[in-house]
Amino acid sequence: MSSQNIYILGIESSCDDTAASVMQNGKILSNVVASQKIHEEFGGVVPELASRAHQQNIVPVVNQAIKKANIAKDQLNAIAFTRGPGLMGSLLVGTSFAKSLAMGLNIPLIDVNHMQAHILAHFIDEEGFNKPPFPFLAMTISGGHTQIVKVSNYFEMEVIGETIDDAVGEAYDKSGKILGLGYPAGPEIDKRAQLGNPKAFKFTKPKVAELNFSFSGLKTAILYFIQKEIKANPNFIEENINDICASIQYTIIGILIDKLKLASKQTGIKHIAIGGGVSANSGIRQALKTGEAKFGWTTYVPKFEFTTDNAAMIAIVGYLKYLENNFSQQNVTASARLKI
Ligand code: KG4
Ligand code: ZN
C-alpha cells in the first residue's frame, strides 16, 4: 500500500443542508452539516430561502471542516462537490464555491452525483460497518428520491426502479402534515409507530408495474380517511395518533419491501444496501433483518450520519474518482436533473 496521504474536501449543497467534509484516504477526518431550520415553518423546503442560507453557511462550514480535520488548506489534493440532482439555486452555491476554491488552490475539481454518493457512502472506512461486495442492490430512500439501483461497480450503476411521483420521505412528511405533526415528520411518525398497532387501519398499496413506486395515491387515501373519521369524531387524530402512524408506516414499509423482494428475485442479488434519510427508519431496519433470516439477504445500513444529506459521502466519491484520475473541468455546470 502506498504511504501517500490523499486529502479530499467534499462539499454538499443540493437541498437544505450545507455540508463539508475532509477525508484522508477513505477515512473521515471531519463531517460538518449546517441544517436549515428556516423551512420548518413552511412544512417543506423553500428553494429561494435554501440558496440564501447556503450563501451564508458555506464559508463557515468549509472553514470548520478544514479546522476540525486539523490540516492546512494547501494540503488538500482535490475538491469534490455535488453537481446534481437537486435544487438549482442550492447547487449553484456549492458548485461556484468549489470551482473557485479549486482554482485558488490550483488543485483538481471533481464533480459528484448526489444519488451515487448516497450509495457509495457505504465505502467510507468506518469501524463496525462492512462494505457491500459487487454486485449489490441499493435502495435510496429520502425526501427527494426513491430508487432501486443495481450496482455492478463503483461507477457502473443502473436504476432498475424508481418512484413515478412522490418520494417515500415525502409520503412521510405529507402524511405528517395531514396529522398536524411538525416537519420533517418521518422521525415523529416512526417514533409513534413503535407505540401503535400497525394493523389498526388499512391503506391499500398502489399497483405500480415492475420495480417502480408510487406514493401520491397513499397520501390522498390518508387525507380522505382522516377527513371521514374526523366528521364522525373530531378527536379522532388525537385519540388514535399512534395507531394511525403505525398503520401508515406498516403500509409504506410493505411497499418498499415488496419491491426489494422482487428486485432481488429478478436479479438474483442478495446483498442489499440502503441509504438516504428514510434509512434511519426503525421499520425498514427491522424488515431488512427479517429479510436476512427469511430470504438469505445480507443487508447494509450506513452509519446514521451518512444516511441523511452529508458531505462525507461526496468526499468518498471524490476519493474514488481521484484514484481513477477522473477530474472535472472548470466549465462544469450544476445539473438539477442529473441522472445516475
Ligand atoms: O436524505 P434526507 O436527509 O434529505 C433528502 O435528500 O431528502 O431525507 C430526509 C427525509 C425526510 O422526508 C424525513 O421525513 C425522512 O427522511 N426521515 C424519516 C426518518 N428520519 C428521516 N422517515 C421515516 N422514518 C425516519 N426515522
Ligand atoms: Zn439526499
pLDDT tens digit at each of 340 positions of the chain: 456 899 999 999 998 889 999 999 999 999 999 987 777 777 778 888 888 989 999 999 999 999 999 999 999 999 999 999 999 999 999 999 999 999 999 999 999 999 999 999 999 999 999 999 999 999 999 998 899 999 999 999 999 999 999 999 999 999 999 999 998 999 999 999 999 999 999 999 999 999 999 999 999 999 999 999 999 999 999 999 999 999 999 999 999 999 999 999 999 999 999 999 999 999 999 999 999 999 999 999 999 899 999 999 999 999 999 999 999 999 999 999 999 9
Which of 155, 9, 13 is CA-nearest to residue 80?
A: 9
Task: Looking at the CA of residue 144, tell me the nearest atom of ligand 1.
Answer: 7
Question: Which regions of the chain carry the CATH code 3.30.420.40?
Answer: 7-122+307-323, 130-301
Query: Which pTM was predicted?
Result: 0.94
Cell numbers 428486485: residue: 263
- Compute, in angstroms, the gap from residue 117 CA to the centroid of ligand 2: 9
Q: Please give the number of the atom of ligand 1 that sits closest to the Cα of 15.
A: 6
Determine the pLDDT at residue 3: 61
Burial 5-39 (b: 16+ CB within 10 A, else e): ebbbbbbbbbbbbbbbbbbbbbebbbbbbbebeeb
Q: Which residues line ligand 1 (CB under 6 A)?
A: 15, 142-144, 169, 172-173, 184-187, 190, 276-278, 280-281, 308-309
**Is the CB of residue 102 less than 8 Å from the CB of residue 109?**
yes
Please give the grid coordinates belonging to residue 264: 432481488
Asked whether the beta carbons of 279 and 306 are under 8 A apart, the reply is: no
Distance 40 CA to ligand 1 centre (A): 14
Residue whose CB lies within 8 A of the most ligand 1 atoms, among 278, 281, 305, 310, for a mutation test? 278
For the segment(s) 130-301, the CATH number from 3.65.10.10, 3.40.50.300, 3.10.420.10, 3.30.420.40 is 3.30.420.40
Q: CA–CA separation, 295 vs 189, rounded Å?
A: 28
**pLDDT score recorded for residue 42:** 75
CATH, range 7-122+307-323: 3.30.420.40
Q: Would you state the pLDDT for residue 49?
A: 87
Choosing from 140, 142, 305 the residue with most ligand 1 atoms within 8 A of its CB, the one to mutate for a pocket test is 142
Q: What angle do CA 12, 310, 320 make, to 5 degrees?
A: 75
Q: Which residues pair with 30 in a beta bridge?
A: 22
